[in-house]
Chains A and B, each alone.
Chain A
């Protein structure tokens, strides 16, 4: 029985995938807490798509894929507010314009590449089983940056999320904190693309944190439970992928979707009160 769990671990690619999974799951659930509570899911999805041209350009130049993705997502995150103010369009509209345009640029560039482009498809749909040691190192560095920023600005980001008006009235640089948060979402997306792919990143950003939201009424506990749910989904998805030979990114996302609905159902059965209002 225990062989079922240990057998895959003798393969280096599974060890790296599990390690990468813990990394991605942790960061996604921590940033996902802010994404869920502040309603940033659409932005998260958009930032993931905006990474694609960065990935393609880095691929063409044989440069680091993470670096290319990071430049494009962070630039988009910071550009949303700027374009929105200039054009007087709503955030929603601006995000729609930017992410569709960026994604189209990625597709266009990809279509100019002669020959083999299968590697690029793995960035669209994710391939955590293909994570290299170098990928792990880069993802680890980016993840530490995100974690350090959250730890240093924990109070300020909490106040910003709960009551931005009072945060501003107290003299906090609310605009700057908003950009910081969007940049953290952007970096989180970059770290996660390899695992679940551009198309499905948003699921790891919101589903585990939303599941945790069903289970607690405290911010820090929501983060912690989100991390557990997220890592659980990644492990189950990985083993499913290993034994059933199905796409790893899709398996991980489907498991976390199931965990969300199972939690919702369990709450109803247990007669737990729904969240207030």
Chain B
């Protein structure tokens, strides 16, 4: 495995965290048959990891298991060497767009402020520093002009950026983003990945479920191939091999030979309903 690109330090300043997120032999899901099984990997701080796999491979299930939203049947999830589920505020989650109630009477600012709630604490109201942090997050995703807009009046790309701003305002160590660029325009895709790279450079650990294999190959440090169980985990240069991709996607993947070039086409875009 590569040397870590950044090592973040424990608040005491002494022990460096070797891993930001460590998943050991994880099985999770409802009922008796786990939706994901036999998942083991570890992510160093300051890395950007792409999670790929066909629909139903368990990408969302993996995120929800890490966040403590679904029952863990076996295994361990550690955040900075301690049980992840005792420090949930350190994890920021961007759910899929379909989960958002667009008719809800809240403005973009209201939604981004929700990211501050764990820091504000129970029975307290937002302080100036929270409002500043919300403004900065909105500025970072270029939504300051829409800060008073009701969330349902945003385009898909704007809503996605607003939800990303909520995660930024939360200021977590680990970000879990479920298909942040699916169904949004190319300009938004570009700006979202730009923000994610900035976060990575700030030492945050960014984990993104995506269907955009090209982007993963170009911009990500590690790839996690998921198909109910873990198929492969490593840098794109090592993981993007025909046999691994075939094992991940099975019949969902087409490899087209054009002259001496090989083009890989995942058919997710046809099967996924647009949000």
Q: What is the interface of chain A, defined by CB distance below 8 A to chain B?
A: 37, 152-153, 155-156, 158-159, 161-163, 165-166, 168-171, 213, 216-219, 221-222, 275-277
Contact = CB atoms under 8 A, between A and B. Distances in A.
Given A37-B104, A218-B106, A276-B102, A166 B93 contact: yes
Nearest to B111: A162
Interface of A is mostly: helix
Contact of B122 (A152, A222, A276, A277): A152
Contacts, number: 82
Nearest to A151: B123
Interface string B87-117: 1110101010001111111110011001001
B117 A156 contact: yes
A275 B69 CA distance: 31
Interface of B: 67-69, 87-89, 91, 93, 95, 99-107, 110-111, 114, 117-118, 120, 122-123, 125, 150, 152-153, 166, 170
A276 B106 contact: no
Given A166-B93, A169-B67, A219-B110, A277 B103 contact: yes
A187 B230 CA distance: 50
Contacts of A222: 105
Contacts of B118: 170-171
A276 B99 CA distance: 16
Given A159-B117, A162-B114, A170 B170 contact: yes
A170 B174 CA distance: 12
Contacts of B107: 217-218
Centre residue among B67, B106, B120, B170 by max chain A CB count within 10 A? B106
A155 B120 contact: yes
B68 A213 contact: no
Nearest to B118: A170
Contact of B68 (A156, A169, A216): A169
A170 B101 CA distance: 18
Given A155-B120, A169-B69, A216 B152 contact: no
19 contacts: A152-B122, A155-B117, A156-B122, A163-B95, A163-B99, A165-B93, A168-B69, A169-B68, A170-B117, A171-B89, A217-B105, A218-B105, A219-B104, A219-B105, A219-B110, A221-B105, A222-B105, A276-B150, A277-B102
A213 B111 CA distance: 18
Contact of B103 (A170, A221, A276): A276
A218 B107 CA distance: 7
> What 5 pairs across the A-B complex have the smallest Cβ distances?
A276-B152, A171-B88, A217-B150, A169-B93, A169-B67
Contacts of A163: 95, 99-101, 114
Contacts of B88: 169-171
Given A162-B106, A276-B102, 18 more contacts: A37-B105, A153-B122, A158-B110, A163-B114, A165-B99, A166-B95, A166-B114, A169-B67, A169-B68, A169-B69, A169-B88, A169-B91, A170-B89, A171-B88, A217-B107, A276-B150, A276-B152, A277-B152
